[in-house]
Amino acid sequence: MAVLLKKNPIDILFLGITAIASLSVVLFIAGILYILFTESSESIGKFGILQFLFSLEWDPVQELFGAATSLFGTVVTTVISLMLAIPIAIGIAIFVTEISPNILKGPIGIAIELLAAIPSIIYGMWGLFTLAPIMSNYIEPALQKSIGKVPLVGMLFKGTPMGIDLLTASIILSIMIIPFTASIARDSFNLTPAVVKESAYALGATQWEVVKNIVLPYSKLGVFGGAVLSLGRALGETMAVAFVLGNNHQITSSLLDAAATITVTLANEFTEADTDIYLSSLFNLALILFVFSFIILATAKIFLLKAEKRYSR
């Protein structure tokens, strides 16, 4: 207290404002969690946490609700989108920083940033009216004729190609999250000391060897951070997925079937919730998504801090 009294009043005011701004973030998170838990208490009391989490039922008529089908769709679309987006984003970052001529670096960088600025509903409309017909008429039949005949793997491509399915939704998500990973990976690659790369080239290393043995290891934490940011975006995306996923509450082995995610279920059914238990179950879904996202991002952050400490040593 005595130290604060000795400080300049402006410094004290600045300290107070920044402290309030920092604490407000914690208060916002706590407030959101409290509201979600309060509004979903009726659903938790009727179905229980574990029963609701693993139940396959979603029947508003009989007032039977479960999160398993929506959670399945959320996990599948997120995982597939990351599998598609991360290699492409890293490739873009490598080309921009290590291969591209200077005249192309600016336009490509601007294009990546513009891609991130496109509203999600535009992606959804483009996916519904452009990508979905292409998927149903060309890509999905081709996948069925080729990969679909491979044992076990072929199960992923059974069914009638409609273009409104898990695969199309995952592709839309991957396009949306590419700019985030690519931008952060590009900035991380640019932090690699030029003298280290020049030394490798002087020793006879090829461009591929420099990227593989120097740039990527040096920048791996930044690339991981970009992937985590993309993961958070993919988990919470709503409108783009709602256009091309359908709202079919089922767990399917085929990527060509319609499904549901937590965000799509909330967007499509919130206005239709005409009973207290129905509305409470939707809030319960939102609570699960909140906790699920928090656990994943917190785990990734812990992993990132441990890796950073190990790397710094």
Segment 226-236, tens digit of pLDDT: 888 888 888 88
- 194 φ, ψ (degrees, to nearest 5): -60, -35
- Tell me, yes or no, whether 28 and 116 share the same domain: no
Rounded to whole angstroms, the Cα distance separating 162 from 168 reads 10
- Domain, as residue range, for 22: 2-32
User: In terms of domains, do 125 and 145 share one?
Assistant: yes
Does 141 lie in the same domain as 26?
A: no
Identify the pLDDT of residue 6: 62
- The tens digit of pLDDT for each residue in 177-229 reads 998 889 888 888 888 888 888 888 888 888 899 999 999 888 888 888 888 88
Q: What's the CATH code of the domain at 273?
A: 1.10.3720.10
Query: How many whole angstroms separate alpha carbon 266 and alpha carbon 273?
Result: 10
Residues 184, 293 share a domain: yes
pTM of the prediction? 0.88
Residue 313 has pLDDT above 60, yes or no: no
Tokens of 233: 């975006």
Place of tokens 């916002």: 28
* 27 and 167 fall within a common domain: no
Are residues 295 and 164 part of one domain? yes
| Three-state DSSP state, 313 | coil
Whether residues 103 and 137 fall in one domain: yes
CA distance 56 to 64: 9
* 19 and 146 in a common domain: no
Q: How many domains does the chain have?
A: 2
- The answer to whether the beta carbons of residues 164 and 78 sit under 8 Å apart is no
14/96 same-domain check:
no
Percentage above 90 pLDDT, the chain: 43
Residues 190/96, Cβ–Cβ less than 8 Å: no
What are the distances in angstroms from CA 311 to CA 17, 122, 221, 308?
Answer: 35, 41, 9, 5
Per 3-state DSSP, the chain is made up of helix, strand and coil in percentages (nearest 5) of: 80, 0, 20
**Residue 307's pLDDT band (boundaries 50, 70, 90)?**
low
Residues 171 and 95 in one domain: yes
Q: Are residues 137 and 190 located together in one domain of the fold?
A: yes
Q: Distance between CA atoms of 216 and 214, rounded to whole angstroms?
A: 6
Q: How far apart are CA 122 and CA 179, in angstroms?
A: 16
Kindly state whether residues 156 and 11 are assigned to the same domain.
no
